Amino acid sequence: MAEEQLDNEENPFDEETWAQLPELLDHLSEPVHLIVWGDQTAAQRDKQAAVLCHTLADHFDKIQCQMLPRRINYDYWPVIGVMGGTQEDWQDLGVRLIGLPDGYQMTSFITAIQAVAFRGSTSEALTRIQLAKLKEDVRLEVFVAADNEAGAMMTHPLFNMAVVSPYVRTFMVMADQFTTAVARYSINYLPHTVINGRVHIEGVVDEETILRHMAKALGKQ
């Protein structure tokens, strides 16, 4: 990692987090390509997301970044896609962050990068076995907020599941930035996970519970 320090205006990370990043990101096993979909000229959050991702790409060898225009198939922006591989040859592993990661969700952002770089290796063995049997698409939406510390605990297994299975896609949604998304699902407590738009999980639960709710969403229970 480059040794130079950034001043507060340039660095989107607080001093404590920035000091911890080398330990977390200097030794990623596989490269990670960050794609930011947004409009830097129209929205401050889009611009901040671009700065956030470019800052990591500029300082960590295994991370690259690319800015692309907004896409009509997303309702909210910015969207950060955490891809495996390089800008020239990347693989979509189904990991998305909707909105600008902030507060405790900076931890979730780093967790997403690690999940992709290490190919979900911290998933429990039983989880990997169960996901290997999956043959139907699963959409996991986890709603969190900047001040929601527990949210960072719930995003970890959900990001891993997306990386482990080609049928799973995980979307972390910053609920405090998109109140219409919260209203759509009548969410009163964070973190809140919605599976395939119909099965809900409140709070932090273990991987076995997530898998059980996933089976329910697929009509397997």
Q: Which domains does the chain have, with CATH numbers?
A: 15-217 (3.40.30.80)
pLDDT of residue 8: 47
pLDDT tens digit sequence for 50-62: 999 999 999 999 9
DSSP, collapsed to helix, strand or coil, labels residue 65 as strand
Q: Quick one: which of 44, 82, 45 has its CA closest to 66?
A: 82
- The proportion of the chain whose per-residue pLDDT surpasses 70, expressed as a percent, equals 95
Q: Residue 149 corresponds to which tokens in the numbers above? A: 């510390």
pLDDT tens digit sequence for 5-42: 444 446 888 888 899 999 999 999 999 999 999 998 88
- Band of pLDDT at residue 73, cut at 50, 70 and 90: confident
- For the chain, count helices (H), then strands (E): 7, 9
Does 4 have pLDDT greater than 60?
Answer: no
Burial of residue 41, with CB atoms counted within 10 A of its CB: 0-12 exposed, 13-18 middle, 19 or more buried: exposed
